[in-house]
Amino acid sequence: MMKYAFLFPGQGSQYVGMGKDLKDNFKVAADVFETADDALSEKLSKLCFEGPKDDLDLTMNTQPAILAVSVAALRVLQQESGIVPVLVGGHSLGEFSALVASGVLKFADAMRIVRKRGTFMQEAVPVGIGCMAAILGMDKEAVEKICKESAQGQVVAPANYNCPGQVVISGHVEAVKRAAERAVTEGAKKTMLLPVSTPSHSALMEKAAERLEAVLDPIELGDMNIPVVSNVTADFYTSKNDVKSLLIKQMTHPVRWHEEMDRILQSGVESILELGPGKVLRGIMRRIGRSVPMRHIENSETLEVALADHKQ
């Protein structure tokens, strides 16, 4: 049997209409969205399918919405193919989808957790105080140095080490802009302020992390049936007992995605499937290594392509 890894996207992959094709064509996906709506006591599915975009883009909505679509894609794939991955992982928010896939988190629990996680992140830093920017074409050591020298008493630090030449920084608006401007003068190919108001994976998320700890504390965890790679350590969880502490650390620590993908590639996987809206992770992987084929699944068309590959 081919060795598969399943990966799940994070915030930024959302779009109005996501998941509707899966819901319309597969009962198992419709059941996922019904469970999601019940867990939050609201029609999150309607927001996924119909928008409006401004509401979908609110962090408190984006996070459970992407989780729901990712799990819907997962359940459809499981039903239609029976593929069992040898490992799973997810980018930031996507790690919750991976933990659902592994059996550690119940889906309904994960929905409620990420709704609160998104709310805590929104409330931790008032709009206009924090931001994030992508630095392209500069190695991580140079970006780290620039962040330290640009802080000037404020917060700015790497938030996502995505792939060679792509580091996302996060912190106070003024400090992030200083770092981005300096990066250009010191040789970065390009910098882009990202369309988010939440400075994720930075020290500004400490209050949100404290509040998330209280939410996670009473959650009952299941067995880790499939190995999960952690954003914080860029390695496999050693046991389910590490899950809560690492999800809390993830709020204030950078996502070590490049190292995480290297770890996955070294593990002997032969094919990678990105499950959920968009194909952001597939694009990043192309810059890390093309030795392992990768497909994404977000609707019946992409499912058909992935299953055709699987049957060959």
Which active-site residues does the annotation give? 92, 201
The label of the residue with tokens 């729901």 reads 68
Report residue 264 as tokens: 């996955």
Measure the CA–CA gap between 312 and 306, rounded to whole angstroms: 10
Measure the CA–CA gap between 142 and 268, rounded to whole angstroms: 32
* Torsions phi, psi for 118 (to 5 deg): -65, -40
Report residue 267 as tokens: 């593990």
247: nearest Cα among 194, 211, 199? 211
Measure the CA–CA gap between 192 and 169, rounded to whole angstroms: 10
